[in-house]
Amino acid sequence: MSWQIRVRDYNTFVANIVFLIMLLFLGGWWYFFGFVAGDDKFVKNASIALFFLLVPVAMSMTHQTSIIVYRLTDKGYEVFSWKPQIDSVKPVMKWTAIVSGVAVLVATFFNPNFLYGLVGPAGFGLLALAMGNSSKYQSLVRGEDHDNRSWDVVEEVVLWRKRNLIGLKMTFDNGEGFKYSNYQKVYCKKHDSDRVVEFIRGKVPKVDYVERKLDVHTYSAQ
């Protein structure tokens, strides 16, 4: 059994909070522009346009999805995942920083106070620079991961129907003698979770099966 799926593979509540904070920052930046612009309609309209341009950029940073490929066999399961957004975010952030930076510089000819507005474009420019020049950073944000496990290490099977998510409980050793347990995530396509659960339970018939909510983290669930 094999399939490919695109999901938000993390704690969505935390991501929403981070996006709200970034939205408040952009809103403050927008308000500052409107305040110093006074009656200048051109600058006010430009600040509105920049605000709605930067909101999707911020969302692309906090609400990234992962593409995950699963393969289930008689011996175990294999999973490979990555985040494709980084390839499109870098050029968007770079040109957003350039265009907004030029707009702010032009505005400073009318009002020197607009020079403080360069904080926003400069921040996006630095992030774009980090993405383009740091291979470690690119590897981190792409989130490429490959893993495979045999069925004999599965201790419990959990199904969370709301997110079509299956959790496979396993125990790991950190290499220093400390053992811990968590759930490896298996995302299913819509209306396909029962078929996948049936396949998995056929390979691990002696372990417990439970249906409940799972607390989702970046690399595992609880």
159-164: long-range contacts, CB 8 A cutoff, minimum separation 24 = 159/193, 159/197, 159/209, 159/210, 159/211, 160/211, 160/212, 160/213, 160/214, 161/193, 161/211, 162/213, 163/187, 163/214, 163/216, 164/188, 164/189, 164/190, 164/192, 164/193
Quote the pLDDT of residue 36.
Answer: 62
Write down the pLDDT at residue 107.
Answer: 61
State the pLDDT at residue 108: 64
Confidence of residue 145 (pLDDT cuts 50, 70, 90): confident
Residue 81 CB neighbour total at 10 angstroms? 22
pLDDT of residue 167: 96
pLDDT digits (tens, 9 = 90+) for 159-206: 999 989 999 999 987 777 788 899 999 999 988 999 999 999 999 999
User: Which residues have a Cβ under 8 Å from the Cβ of 90 and sit 6 or more positions away?
Assistant: 128, 131, 132
Model confidence over 58-81: pLDDT tens digits? 776 777 788 999 999 999 999 999
AA identity, residue 77:
Y
Return the closest-CA partner of residue 26 out of 41, 43, 47.
47
Query: Is the pLDDT higher at 215 or at 49?
Result: 215
Q: For the segment 106-125, what is each residue's pLDDT rounded down to a tens digit?
A: 666 666 655 555 556 656 66
* 8-64 pLDDT, tens digit each: 887 778 878 888 888 888 777 777 766 665 666 666 676 677 777 777 777 767 777
* Residue 72 dihedral angles phi and psi, to the nearest 5°: -110, 130
Q: Dihedral of the CA atoms 171, 174, 177, 181 (nearest 10)?
A: -20
Per-residue model confidence (pLDDT) at position 219: 77
Q: pLDDT at position 65, please?
A: 83
Quick one: tokens of 140?
């981190």
Residue 68: DSSP 8-state: E
Q: What is the structure's pLDDT at 132?
A: 57
The token pair at 132 is: 């383009």
Tokens describing residue 178: 């400390």
pLDDT at position 73: 96
CA distance 196 to 74: 13
Q: State the DSSP string of 207-218.
A: SEEEE----B-S
H or E segment and range at residue 10:
none
From the list 109, 203, 111, the residue with the least C-alpha distance to 157 is: 203
pLDDT value of position 51: 73
pLDDT > 70? residue 136: no
